[in-house]
């Protein structure tokens, strides 16, 4: 294949759902017009806890993986710290060498503050590159590429009041789709600096003889510059995302608890200019295309709130929702389930999630499984695994007093 076709394959391999295409019209006259971003791997839920609950996490109970969902939750954690590693073999229905690895952790130096960090590595495996067939009819071997994307971030959160906390995160993002396969004057890696702003509300409420919890959470993630793979000849938005959610953790007694949670998400990037049939004439279509391409990253955030070519009804289609449920026994054994919904005109990701977890004093082990509604979906049968460690439990193992830092042998 030629260079342009290779580029299309590499870009499509990075997508978290289906291949994003230009808008087109179905038999009922409705427009398919998915939002388009570079580095879509940033939108893949990396852990098996939130991933088992329908991809929710804005207001759920704080854990080691809160860095992705809402870093403000760290300041409200009952633990003084911990870290986790998560692994997701991605799109196994299509290929067998796309993987997502996610490391995350936090530490609370004081009762009111917390620092967190995470590292995300998304590898797209090995892609064989070929050129146009030569005189002999055989494709020309142009070597292989090993495209990958990564992100490294750090966060700070603190209690703003008894029940409210706020957090910020700074992220370095890197995407190498061509991996040196072509001339660097033509194709380059993409780099971005992103930032998150987050808030969390978590309040205990008395429910009979037990204490339950009400939670709210909000985050805006990946606020950053546009990126380019062709030395700024064209630029693309990164997946800036708004997430808002609520949760209620109800305690039946000292051993049995149920956590309900729900999130809504909206990508804060402009809606693509769509199809020429949505405009009165070709000049209006060309103007909309030019305006989309010239919109800045920050301008795109504000523009995304009301720029859909089909008006308010299309704008509402860009909001995804997810709901989740977790039952826990003595906070040692958890069963989870959830549902994620994306409008069929904006990507059509619709799936159920199920999962389970075990929580010992030293570590936590969780697994999640995706059941896509459309059996042809590449997301169907996706597995996630997470292994977490609690700092207090590790200190007990190594004979260190969690409060003083001194050895128990002393």
Residues 23-76 pLDDT 10s: 555 656 567 888 999 999 999 999 999 999 999 999 999 999 999 999 999 999
* Domain residue limits at 110: 3-397
Per the domain annotation, does 267 fall within a domain? Answer: yes
Q: What rounded mean pLDDT belongs to the chain?
A: 85
Average confidence (pLDDT) over 82-98: 89
Does residue 409 carry a pLDDT above 70? no
* Pair of tokens at residue 181: 């396969």
Domain of residue 145, CATH code: 2.40.160.40
How many whole angstroms separate alpha carbon 105 and alpha carbon 116? 6
pLDDT 10s digits, 127-150: 776 665 655 556 666 667 788 999
Domain membership of residue 325 (yes or no) is yes
Domain membership of residue 402 (yes or no) is no
Q: Provide the pLDDT for residue 91.
A: 83
410 vs 80, residue with greater confidence: 80
pLDDT at 104 over 80: yes
Q: Is residue 257 situated within a structural domain?
A: yes
- Are 36 and 272 spatial neighbours (Cβ–Cβ below 8 Å)? yes
SS3 annotation, 101-140: EEEEEEECCCCCEEEEEEEEEEECCCEEEEECCCCCCCCE
Place of tokens 């149920």: 258
> What distances in angstroms separate CA 50 from CA 84, 196, 293, 323, 368, one per listed residue?
13, 18, 34, 10, 9
According to the model, what pLDDT value does residue 218 have?
98
- Answer whether 139's CB lies under 8 Å from 133's CB: yes
Residue at token pair 């590790």? 394
Assigned domain for 217 exists = yes
Token digits of residue 204: 């205990």
| 249 domain residue, yes or no | yes
What is the pLDDT averaged over residues 150-175? Answer: 97
Residue 81 lies in a domain: yes
pLDDT score for 4: 36
- pTM, rounded to two decimals: 0.86
- pLDDT tens digits for range 330-372: 989 999 999 999 999 998 899 999 999 999 878 899 999 999 9
Quick: pLDDT tens for 64-78: 999 999 999 999 999
Domain count across the chain = 1
105 pLDDT tier (thresholds 50, 70, 90): very high
Q: What is the pLDDT of residue 182?
A: 62
Domain membership flag for residue 410? no
Distance CA 168, CA 116 (A): 10
**Tell me: the pLDDT tens digits for 256-301?**
999 999 999 999 999 987 766 667 777 778 888 888 888 999 999 9
Instruction: Residue 407: count other Cβ atoms within 10 Å of its Cβ.
Output: 10
Residue 145 or residue 159, greater confidence:
159
d(CA 122, CA 13): 11
């Amino acid at each position: 294949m030629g260079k342009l076709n290779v580029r299309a394959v590499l870009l499509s391999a990075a997508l978290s759902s289906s291949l994003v295409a230009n808008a087109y019209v179905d038999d009922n006259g409705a427009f398919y017009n998915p939002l388009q971003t570079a580095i879509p791997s940033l939108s893949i839920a990396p852990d098996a806890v939130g991933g088992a609950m329908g991809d929710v996490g804005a207001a759920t109970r704080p854990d080691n993986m809160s860095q992705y969902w809402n870093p403000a939750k760290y300041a409200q954690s009952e633990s003084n710290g911990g870290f986790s590693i998560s692994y997701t073999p991605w799109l196994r229905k299509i290929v067998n060498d796309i993987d997502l690895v996610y490391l995350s952790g936090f530490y609370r130096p004081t009762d009111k503050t917390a620092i967190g960090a995470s590292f995300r590595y998304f590898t797209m495996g090995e892609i064989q590159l070929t050129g146009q067939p030569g005189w002999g009819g055989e494709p020309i071997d142009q070597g292989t590429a090993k495209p990958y994307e990564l992100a490294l971030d750090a966060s700070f959160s603190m209690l703003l009041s008894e029940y409210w906390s706020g957090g910020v995160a700074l992220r370095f993002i890197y995407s190498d789709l061509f991996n040196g396969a072509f001339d660097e004057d033509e194709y380059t890696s993409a780099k971005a600096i992103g930032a998150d702003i987050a808030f969390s509300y978590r309040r205990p409420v008395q429910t009979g003889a037990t204490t339950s919890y009400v939670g709210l959470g909000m985050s805006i993630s990946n606020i950053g510059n546009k990126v380019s793979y062709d030395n700024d000849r064209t630029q693309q938005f990164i997946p800036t995302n708004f997430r808002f959610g609520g949760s209620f953790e109800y305690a039946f007694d000292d051993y049995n608890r149920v956590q309900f949670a729900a999130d809504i998400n909206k990508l804060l990037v402009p809606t693509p200019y769509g199809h020429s049939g949505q405009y009165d004439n070709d000049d209006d279509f060309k103007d909309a295309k030019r305006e989309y391409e010239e919109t800045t990253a920050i301008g795109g955030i504000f523009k995304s709130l009301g720029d859909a070519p089909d008006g308010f009804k299309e704008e509402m289609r860009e909001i995804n929702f997810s709901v989740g449920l977790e039952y826990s026994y003595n906070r040692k054994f958890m069963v989870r389930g959830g549902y994620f919904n994306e409008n069929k005109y904006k990507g059509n990701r619709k799936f159920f999630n199920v999962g389970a977890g075990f929580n010992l004093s030293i570590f936590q082990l969780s697994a999640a499984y995706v059941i896509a509604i459309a059996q042809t979906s590449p997301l169907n049968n996706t597995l996630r695994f997470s292994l977490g460690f609690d700092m207090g439990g590790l200190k007990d193992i190594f004979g260190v007093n969690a409060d003083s830092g001194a050895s128990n042998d002393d």
